[in-house]
Amino acid sequence: MREPATSYLNELNEIQRNAVTNIEGPVMVIAGPGSGKTRVLTYRIAHMINMGVPPGNILALTFTNKAAKEMKHRIESVVGQDANRVWAGTFHSLFARILRTEAHRLGFPNDFTIYDTDDTKSVMEEIIKTLNLDRKVYVAGQVRSRISSAKSNLITPKAYAANDDLMAMDRMNRRPLIYQIYEKYVAKCQKAGAMDFDDLLLQMFRLLYQNPDGVREKYQRQFRCIMVDEFQDTNYLQYEILKLLCLYDGSPRNICIVGDDAQSIYSFRGATIENILQYEHDFKDVKTFKLEQNYRSTSFIVNAANDVISYNAKQIQKKIWTDRSEGPKIKVIKSMTETEEGKRVADSIIEQKNRYNLANKEIAILYRTNGQSRIFEEALRRYNLNYRIYGGLSFYQRKEVKDLIAYMRLTVNDKDDEALKRVINYPRRGIGDSTIEGITTIANDNDMSMWEVIGKIEFNARAKKSIGEFVNLIQAFKDFSAKNDAYQTALYISKHSGIVDLFKAEGTPEAEARMENITSLLDGIQEFVEDDELSINEEFSTDKSLAKFLQSISLMTDADEDKTDVDTITLMSVHAAKGLEFKSVFVTGLEENLFPSYQSLSTPDQIDEERRLFYVAITRAEIYLVLTYANSRYQFGQMRFNDASRFIEEISEENIDAITSISREESKPAFGEPKLLGSFKKQLAAPKVDPSQFKPSPPESIKTGQKVLHLKFGEGEVTHIDERQVATIVFPQATDSKEKRIVLQFAKLQIIG
């Protein structure tokens, strides 16, 4: 081999350099957060090329096109144009490239069609219809998810039908014929010369496993060196393909995996942590390099991450460290309510911007579920702080939220044509596009609203029935709205419109996420109705109608977002934050049943994954880390009281500054200097107001001088009641302003003295 120019090696620490220069045999690089993983990955490929490995013999697999592009760019900066000859890309893109050459060996045309998710669902809907199955039971999205999972675990239709556990589960879910749908779907794809995303992996496995015309040896010779990024995110099928490529007689087994078991957070996508844990057993002579130096975060953040992850039983042992000692300890903010949590976060951001001169783009707010963004969006908008939703839409721009609000708008104002067009056939009720276009044309020609047109023209029998049902539905919403408040009406609309049933029936992770957004919207409306506090300068009103609620959010739904402004605070889920970093990070909603999620509490493995998710969240922060939680929040239309997350308790006391409310009125922590271990939960418990024992007194019985109990604010004393029946009450336990103005008409107060 030629002697290469290796000046780039000088940029690496000793462990990184060893990982880069050991290019023969199996290698595992365990890369902690902020440890220079990408640099090691790219320099290792560059080093292989410099040591004489032909670029075309290198296979570098990633999980995103962005990562592959960045990898090629970095390699190019070291070795020049040779970088373009490396097989670098995602599993799906590179396997699709191979199958474009080899698909004919499997009975597919080489120019096969790739079905996206919508195509797949459409084919499945057709099969479900052909089999005369109940589409409310056999929901296409749910069936697709089930079949996708089977493919990822190498289960063919025949094997599926023979698997007693799978069949029993389907029978239990009243879908015993999924195996038939699977069988027909595979046949249809074959006939149409099409593959879906799962097939790109499955057919690649099949190609190598069945080995028609000795094709496996061809690619074993081709890919003499294999690199896999984010190995902890691989599924069972991906790992099996890799083993077929590099485990054979005479193989040099030049495979290097890079990843971090502590950042394995995608089990819901089929990823399994077992792959990275099993790797050392499959490759006995593996060389393992642990990148433990963190270049991103301060010692308080790094030590907190070590504290937390130590509670996981299944892990590759490592100790992340840093020599960055500057920066404050971790802050923990306790709030009474989720609304207050949003306000506290916004207050803290302003404080950080002023004190540390931070730009908006250096700040991120992370949450466990996308539905939580609503609270923070509303708070940031009130303070005129620019923000963006990373990798998604702002709360009121999400389709399911806009759909439900469209039903509400139409209920309040039947002349709202845009709202009508949005929901007249959603969920589908058999009103075709041509019918809707006809109504629109007549309305435009006669200067009428579409609702007026619907009531005056004749339709064919099928359309007449469907439109009649729609009109009756909206009229029922109007009648209900006239007698009920905004929350009761919104709940009624969500149930009877069919939107909620649609998501419940689908049962996929995507549908669950949409349902979370619907629930968050309803919780926000419930909060609007039950809010008894009158803020300073707020207009006095007792109107809790749906029309009033829509008015209150109109500025949020109509607000123009400046797409050109790059200096924005980033809001995102923790899952979306993986791989990113910010100077300041707020990890929010840290309560039991929320983070960790209530769905994860059933098994230790799920709790461990939630803990890894928290680990990912806190290691996004470079200097400033703030953890926040609320004692109470609306969940599913009810006020729920939650304990602080166990993950806060798992952080050692020396890494946390104090439990504080970050209040303008208080410079001291709300609890003095707490001892976080041992008695933590007792100290951080919510005000002892048991909702089941709470019995509100009649509003007219509330008098000046009385001691009262409030669900949110705890104990207080009534100091004044004005002519509008707005009571001024001092609540010593409140974490912001102690003095509250409470509208007695809506107040839930219990007289205690």
Handedness of CA 114, 118, 119, 124 (dihedral sign): positive
* Residue tagged active-site, from 230, 532, 609, 736: 230
Question: CA-to-CA distance for 505 and 430, rounded, in angstroms?
Answer: 19
Q: Is the separation of the CB atoms in 632 and 526 below 8 Å?
A: no
* Residue tagged active-site, from 16, 17, 37, 735: 37
* Residue tagged active-site, from 62, 90, 203, 263: 263
* Residue tagged active-site, from 170, 199, 229, 523: 229
Q: Which stretch of DSSP H or E encloses residue 639?
A: strand 638-641
Closest CA to 41 of 258, 253, 233, 232: 258
Question: CA-to-CA distance for 448 and 450, rounded, in angstroms?
Answer: 6
Specify burial of residue 426 (Cβ count, 10 A radius: 0-12, 13-18, 19+): middle
Looking up tokens 């803020």, which residue turns up? Answer: 535
In 10 A of CB 746, how many CB atoms? 16
* Residue tagged active-site, from 38, 180, 397, 440: 38
Handedness of CA 652, 656, 661, 665 (dihedral sign): positive
In 10 A of CB 348, how many CB atoms? 20
Specify whether 229 is catalytic: yes
Specify whether 263 is catalytic: yes
Q: Which stretch of DSSP H or E encloses residue 474?
A: helix 461-483
In 10 A of CB 378, how many CB atoms? 19
Specify whether 599 is catalytic: no
Q: Which stretch of DSSP H or E encloses residue 615?
A: helix 604-618
**Beta-strand relationship, 330-337 and 621-635:** parallel
Question: CA-to-CA distance for 303 and 306, rounded, in angstroms?
Answer: 5
Looking up tokens 């205690």, which residue turns up? Answer: 752
In 10 A of CB 191, how many CB atoms? 8
Backbone angles phi, psi at 214, to 5 degrees: 65, 30
Q: Which residues, at least 6 apart from 721, have a Cβ–Cβ distance to it below 8 Å?
A: 702, 703, 704, 727, 728, 744
Determine the angle formed by the axes of helices 236-246 and 140-152, rounding to 10 degrees: 30
Closest CA to 674 of 654, 693, 646: 654
Question: CA-to-CA distance for 78 and 45, rounded, in angstroms?
Answer: 10
Question: CA-to-CA distance for 311 and 292, rounded, in angstroms?
Answer: 18
Q: Is the separation of the CB atoms in 584 and 621 below 8 Å?
A: yes
Q: Which residues, at least 6 apart from 159, have a Cβ–Cβ distance to it below 8 Å?
A: none
* Residue tagged active-site, from 331, 422, 620, 740: 620
Specify burial of residue 183 (Cβ count, 10 A radius: 0-12, 13-18, 19+): middle
Query: Which phi-psi region, left, alpha or beta, contains residue 644 (left: φ > 0; alpha: ψ -120 to 50)?
Result: beta
Q: Which residue type sits at 425?
A: N
Catalytic positions? 37-38, 229-230, 263, 620
